[in-house]
Amino acid sequence: MSAPPLALVTVVHGRHDHLRGLLRGVRRQTRAPDVLVVVAMDDDEVPAIVDAELTRTDECVTPRRPAPGADAPDVRHVALPRRDGRLPLAAARNLGAATAVAAGAEHLVHLDVDCVPSDDLVRRYGSVLRDVAVGPGPVVLCGDVAYECDPAEGPQAPRHHPARPALPPDAVRVVEDVTLFWSLSFAVTAADLATVGGFDEQYVGYGAEDTDVGQRLARAGGRLLFVGGAGAVHQWHPSPDPPVQHLADVVANANRFARTWGWWPMEGWLEAFRERGLARREPDGDWVVLP
C-alpha cells in the first residue's frame, strides 16, 4: 500500500538561520515530504532562503534510501501580513494546512521553524498516522523535542523537557493531559484537523492557541499520542522567562481562552507579569497590560 501524500508545514518570521537548519533536516529525511509549505509572516526574504537552501550542492545531504517523496518536494510559498501589528500564528498554521491540502496532502506534519527534524521524523509520523487513522475520534501525534542549551554554558547535549520524556523509537503512548499538546512538532491527518477545527484565528500572536486546540481535541472525543522515533532538536535562542516580548499577546490570548474554557492558561506567566508591574487582574476578571 502506498503511503498517503504527506506535507511538512512550517511558519516563519525572521530566524533565518534556524530556517536553514530546519531545511537541512528536511533534506536528510529517510522519507522526504511530498509537499513542503512555508508560510512567511511579514517576511519577504523567506522564499529566496528556502529555494537557495533546497538547491545547495556544496554539502552532502542526501536521503538515506529511496522512499516516497524522495525526489525534491513540491514547495509551496505563501505569505501572510501582520494583523494589527501582531504575528498571526494561528492563522498562519491554518493557511499552511489549507495550502498543503490543496496540493493533495492527506497527512500533515507541522514543525516549528526553530526545530531541526531527526532524519526519520517524516517517515515515522507518516507511519503512525497510517496505523491510527482508523478509529473513533480525531488523533493528534506529538514527537519528542529536545532543547539546545545556551552556548554560553559550554558544549552540552540537548535537554528533554521533563513533561515529555524521550520514548523508545517504536513506542506510542496515549497522553491523558491534552494541555501537553504543543504545536512546535505535531502530525495529524487533514480530515482529523478539520474535525478539530484547526487553530482558532482569534488567537493572534503568541500563547494559548495550541492549548485551545488540545481542549477541542478532547471535546471531539479525540486522542493525543506521544510518538517515539519522531524527534527534533529545538535550536537555541534567547527566551526570557516570563516572555515579556509577548506580554500583550499572552494577556489578550489568556483572556480569550478563559472566556471560552473557564480556566486560565499560562497562569505562571500572568502572575510573573503582575509581580513585575506589567499586568493586573481587573474586577471583571480579565487581565490588562499596564501602561
- What pTM was computed for the model? 0.93
Quote the Cα angle for 193-194-200, to 5°. 80
| Residue at grid coordinates 488540545 | 214
Q: Is residue 70 scored above 70 in pLDDT?
A: no
C-alpha grid cell for residue 6?
504527506
CA dist list (Å): 132 to 34, 223, 245: 20, 10, 39
User: Which residue ranges form the domains of the chain, and what is each CATH number?
Assistant: 6-238 (3.90.550.10), 240-291 (no CATH)
Host H or E run for residue 173: strand 172-175
Read off the pLDDT of residues 110-157 as tens digits, 9 standing for 90 and up.
999 999 999 999 999 999 999 986 668 999 999 999 999 988 887 888
Under DSSP, the state recorded for 107 is E
Partners of 111 in beta bridges: 185
Read off the pLDDT of residues 229-263 as tens digits, 9 standing for 90 and up.
999 999 999 888 999 999 999 999 999 999 999 99
